[in-house]
Amino acid sequence: MAVDNARVEKFRRTPVDGQSLKRLVEAGLTWLRTNQQTVNALNVFPVPDGDTGTNMVLTLQSAWNEIKDLGTRNVSEMAAAVSKGALMGARGNSGVILSQLWRGFSRSVHEKEILDVPTLVKAFGDARDTAYKGVVRPVEGTILTVAREVAAATEAVAGSAHDPIEVLEIAVRAADEAVQKTPELLPVLKQAGVVDSGGKGLFFILEGMLRHIYGESLETPTMTVQPISAMNLEDALSEVEEGQDYEVVVDFFPNGELELPKFYGKLEEMGTSIQVGEGEGMYRMHIHVPLEKRYEPIDYIMGIGTITKVAMENLLAQMDEIQKGKVPQIQLSTVEPGQIAVVVVSPGTGLSRIFASLGVASVVSGGQTMNPSTQDILSAFENLPTDKVIILPNNKNIIMAANQARDVTVKKVAVVPSRTVPQGLAAMLSLNPDGELDSVADKMTKALSTVKSGEITVATRSVEIDGVAVKEGQVIALLDGKLVASSDTVEHAVMELLDKADAGAHELITLFYGEGMPHGEANRIKDVIGKKYPSLEIEVQEGGQPHYQFIVSIE
C-alpha cells in the first residue's frame, strides 16, 4: 500500500474512540462491498450460490445502519450498536459468524471509553472465542481459522505494540496469511482451487480499516477480473440505491490489453455496483448509473474496444416488479394460541403453496443466493398468536440464522435443521400443531432422514470435485449436497442423479420444476423416468425456484 505517513501519524496520536470505530466499520464495509464479487466467486461447488460476499456485505450494512447516526464517543456503546445491527442483519453462515465476531468484540470492550492496545488485543481474542463457541462443529480452513490466526498474532505482540494501528497492521497481515493457508486445512478448497470465501471477506473488512488509516482508495477493487459466469447480476438488484436509475451491461472486446485500474477509475466517475467479467477474451461490464449518465459507459467502451452487445434496464421499474412478486399469494394456516406455528424458508412460489397446503403458518422467501437475515426470520413469527414455533430453514446456509432468531426471541422456538426443500416437506408430514413442542420438533427432525434430495442446475465454472469433471455451462446433479454427475442435457443429468440415488429401491420421485423449466418439458422427463423405473410413483410439481431446473425428492 502507498501510505500517507502524515495521516498515519495523526491517527497514531488520536485515541480510538467510538467515532473512530464508526469510521473504521464504514471503511471495512466499503472495501468489502468493493470486493464483494471477488468473495462471491470463491465458491467450492460450481453452482449458482456464490453469495458469501453478498451475505457479509448485507450483515455489515445492517451494522452500519445501526450506527450511522450514532454520535457517541464511547467505544463500548458504539461496539454494542455494531453488534446489535450485525446480529439482526446476519445472513448465511458467513454473516452469522461475522455477527458473532462482533458480539465477542463488543463484550470485550464493555465499559471501555477507547481502544488502547491491551483492549484491542483482548477484543480480537474474545471475538475468536465467541465465534468458535457459536458453531456446533467448528471447521478449520474457514473464516473461523482466519479469526483465530488474527487473535493469535495480535496476542503475540500485546506487550510490545506501540498503538492500536500497529495491532491492526499485524491483524491484516495475519488474516492475509491465514486465508492463503485455508486450502491446506480444508481439502475441498484445494480440490476446487480456491481459498475460503468467508475468510477472504474478513480479510477485506480488516484491510479496509487499514486502508482508511493509510489514506488508500476504498473504491477500486484489488481483484483480477472474475469469469463472466461468476457475475451474479441478480444480486446486484438487491442493493439498488437512490440515483441508480439504470442498469447497463456491455459485452465488448478491448482493442488491446485492458488496464483494469484505469477502467474501474473511469467507471467510478459514472456510477456504482460495478462488475467486470471475462471469458475467452470478451469482457462484460455491469454498472448502475443515474438517468442522465445511462449512455456514458457505452460511449466510453466504444472508445477502447468493439462492443458486441448492450443491455439497458430501468432499475426502479424492475425493483417494483420484484417487490410485488416477492410474497407468494398463498393461503397460510391459521394458528390458535397454544398451538405450534411452523415457519419455513421457501425458494419459490410453487413450493410456498405446497408448504402452505401442509399447514405452515408463515413463509420466508429465500434459498440459494438469497439467504434471509435473522431479522427476516424473526419477523415471520414474532406477531403470530402463539409462543410455540418451529423453523424449517430448508438450506444448510440458513440454519445458523434460524438458530440466531431462536436465541433472540422470548418465544419458545425449535429449529428443525432441514438442509433441503425435500427434507422440509418430509418434516411437515410429521407436524402435530396441538402437540408438545420438543416432542413434535424431535419427530420432524427424525423425518429428515427419510428422504434423499437431488438438485439439477448449470455449472458456473469448470472444475473437478470428488472425481466428477465439470465444464462451465454443463448441467450438473447434486445428491444430498454432493456433486455426483455432469451432463450436456437436463434429462441425462436427472437420470444419472436417480441412478446414483438407487432410485429403483425407493417408492416415490417428485420433480419440483424451477422457474425456467417449461411444464411440458418437466412432464416429458417424467415419462422418461417412468419407462426406466416402471414401479416408481412419479409426480411433477411446480417449484418456481430460480437457478435450479429441478429439485428432486426421492422417498
Domain that residue 65 falls in? 5-221
Residues 212 and 231 in one domain: no
Residues 126 and 62 in one domain: yes
Residues 244 and 387 in one domain: no
Residues 67 and 98 in one domain: yes
Residues 205 and 232 in one domain: no
| Sign, CA torsion 200/82/85/134 | positive
Strands 246-254 and 305-314, bridge-based pairing: antiparallel
Residues 185 and 312 in one domain: no
Q: Which residue's C-alpha cell is 437436463?
A: 490
Total number of domains constituting the chain: 4
Residues 26 and 158 in one domain: yes
Residues 249 and 354 in one domain: no
Residues 394 and 260 in one domain: no
Q: What is the rounded CA–CA span in Å between residue 19 and residue 311?
A: 42
CATH number at residue 140: 1.25.40.340
Task: Look at residues 435, 450, 465 and tell me which one is the last residue of a structural domain.
Answer: 450
Distances (CA, A) of 168 to 39, 158, 482: 21, 12, 39
CATH number at residue 460: 3.30.1330
Task: Look at residues 196, 221, 246 and tell me which one is the last residue of a structural domain.
Answer: 221
Distances (CA, A) of 510 to 70, 430, 489, 498: 52, 18, 19, 11
Residues 136 and 40 in one domain: yes
DSSP character at residue 466: T
Alpha helices in 109-157 (DSSP H): 117-133, 143-156
555 residues of the chain, pLDDT tens digit each: 567 888 888 888 899 999 999 999 999 999 998 888 788 878 776 666 667 888 999 999 999 999 999 999 999 999 999 999 999 999 999 999 999 999 999 999 999 999 999 999 999 999 999 999 988 888 999 999 999 999 999 999 998 989 999 999 999 999 999 999 999 999 888 888 889 999 999 999 999 999 999 998 887 666 556 665 555 555 444 444 445 678 888 989 999 888 887 888 888 888 877 778 777 788 888 888 888 888 899 999 999 999 998 888 776 665 454 444 444 457 788 999 999 999 999 999 999 999 999 999 999 988 877 889 999 999 999 999 999 999 999 999 999 999 999 999 999 999 999 999 999 999 999 999 999 999 999 999 999 999 999 999 998 778 888 888 888 889 999 999 999 999 999 999 999 999 999 999 999 999 999 988 999 999 999 999 999 999 999 999 999 998 899 999 999
Task: Look at residues 304, 321, 338 and tell me which one is the last residue of a structural domain.
Answer: 321
CATH number at residue 344: 3.40.50.510
Residues 464 and 433 in one domain: no
Q: Which residue's C-alpha cell is 453488534?
A: 83
DSSP character at residue 481: T
